[in-house]
Structure 1
Amino acid sequence: MELATQRVNYRLFEKADFDLFYAVFSDKEIMRYAWIDEILSREKMLAFFEDFLSVGHMPNKNNSYAFAAFSRGNGRFAGFADIQLHSHNENGGCGEIGYFLMQEFWGKGYATEFAGAMTDFGFESLKLHKVCARCNANNLKSENIMKKLGMTKEGELRKVRYKGGSWDDEKYYGILREEWLARRQQATL
C-alpha cells in the first residue's frame, strides 16, 4: 500500500526497513516527547519493529497502518507516520494518528504533511468517522499541527506521561468526518 503527498511518498514498513525504523526510535531527540523512551538495544527494537509490520493491506499487530515516509525530492527517509484503529466497523470508527520525523526534516512543514496524510487516509480509505491525536503537553509544535488540521481540543489528561524524571500532561485532539469534509470543501472554494 502506498500513499503520496506533495513532498512525500509513503509505503507500509517492510522487514528490510529495520535500520530505518531503528533510526527513528533510537534517536533521543526524536523520542523527546513520545510515550516511550528511545530504544537502544537492537534486540529489543526488533521485537518492537515486528509488531509494526503489516501483512498485505491489513493492519499490523498494533491494529495500525505504519508507513515509512520518503522525500519525493531526494528519496531520503523522512520518518514514520501511522494511524492506529481504536474501533472500526461498517459505520465508521475512530483512528489515532502519530508521526516522527528525522531531524533533517524538522521545521519545514513535513510533520503537518505527515499528519494530514494519515488523517486523509483515515477518512478516505478507512472510512472512519473520527480521527484523533495526542501529544505531550510540552510539545507545542505537535499541538499546533493538530490545530492546523482543524482538530478540536477535547481534553487534557493530567500527569500521564513520564519523561525526563517527571510526569507530564497529555493533550487530546480530534476531528470528525463532517468537519474534515467541510474543511476540504472550503479549501476548494
Structure 2
Amino acid sequence: MKIFDLPLETDRLILRRVRHDDFDDLFPIHSDPEVCRYLPYEPRDEAAMKEAIEKRVALVEMTPGGEPLFLAVELKETGEVIGEVLLFYHHEEWRQGELGYVFSPKFHGKGYAYEATRAFMDAAFDQFNLHRISARCSAANIASWRLMEKLKMRREGDFREHEIFKGEWDHMYIYAILEDEWRAHRS
C-alpha cells in the first residue's frame, strides 16, 4: 500500500487530492461529449459525477491492481481545477504504473497538461519507486499521444481494430518509459 506525499507543486499548478468542492470545476469537463469521446465512459450527468468524486475522495492509499489515484490539477493563480491526472498502480513487485489525464478544453494548448503530467511522473518514479510507466490512447486522439511523445515516452504498441470502443473499431497506441530513461531525459 502506498500514499503520495501531496500536494505536488509546479510553477503554475498544484496537484492535490480531489475534494467534494471540486464538483463545479470537474463536472463541465466530464459532461462534455468531446472530452468523453476518448474516455471509457459516456458524458456524466450530475449524479454520476458526484459518485465519481466520492470514489476519488474515498481512496486513501493505493494498492496494486486497485483503483487509480486521481489528483485534481489546480491553477495556483485562480484556484480553478482545470483537469485531473491519474495513476493506476498495476504491480508492486514489477513496479508498474499507468498514467492517465483529462483536461478542460478551454485550457488546452497552454502547456498545463505537460507541466502536470511531468510533475506527476516525477513523483511516481520517486515516491513509488516505479520501474515503468505506461499510457494509452486512441490513435485519433492526436493531442494525447503528442503529449506522451513530449514526455519522451516511446510508442510500444499500435493496436488496430483490437476492440469495439463506443460502437467503432478502436485503433490504440500504447506508450511507456522506464525509470532510467525518465531520469536521463530529466537531467
User: Structure 1 length as normaliser, TM-score?
Assistant: 0.85
The CA distance in 2 between the partners of 1:20 and 1:145, in whole Å, is 23
**Runs ≥4 in structure 1, deviation > 3 angstroms?**
18-21
Structure 2 counterpart of 1:28: 33
Q: Separation in 2 of the partners of 1:13 and 1:34? A: 19
Q: How many angstroms apart in 1 are the aligned matches of 2:48 and 2:77? A: 33
Task: Decide which of 58, 67, 89 is 1:63's aligned counterpart.
Answer: 67
* 1:128 partner SS: coil
Superposed displacement of residue 157, structure 1:
2.0
> 1:103–1:62: structure 2 CA closer, same or farther, 3 Å change rule?
farther
Q: 1:169 aligns with which of 168, 171, 179?
A: 171
Task: Mark the CA change 1:106 to 1:82 in structure 2 (over 3 Å): closer, same or farther.
Answer: same
Indicate yes or no: 2:51 matched with 1:47. Answer: yes
1:122 matched residue in structure 2: 124
Cα distance, 1:72 vs. partner?
Answer: 1.6
CA distance in 2, matches of 1:13, 1:62: 17
| Overall identity of the aligned pairs, in % | 32
Corresponding position of 1:14: 19
In the TM superposition, residue 7 of structure 1 has moved relative to its aligned partner by 1.4
Q: Give structure 2 stretches of 5+ with no counterpart.
A: 1-5
Letter in 2 for 1:105: F
Change (3 A) 1:77 1:47: closer
Q: Give the conservation status (yes or no) of the 8 Å contact 1:2–1:10.
A: yes
Residues matched between the structures, number: 180
Aligned: 1:3 with 2:8? yes
**Aligned residue type for 2:88:** Q
In 2, Cα distance between equivalents of 1:19 and 1:46: 10
Shift of 1:52: 2.1
The 5 Å alignment of 1:34-183 reads 34-40=39-45, 42-56=46-60, 58-59=61-62, 62-89=66-93, 93-159=95-161, 160=163, 162-163=165-166, 165-183=167-185
Q: Report the AA paired with residue 84 of structure 1.
A: F
Whether the 8 Å CA contact 1:136–1:161 is kept in 2: the answer is no
TM-score normalised by length of structure 2:
0.86
Task: Structure 1 unaligned segments of length 5 or more: list them.
Answer: none
Q: Which amino acid aligns with 1:162?
A: F
Alignment partner, residue 3 of structure 2: none
Q: Aligned equivalents of 2:16 and 2:106: distance in 1?
A: 20
Letter in 1 for 2:103: L
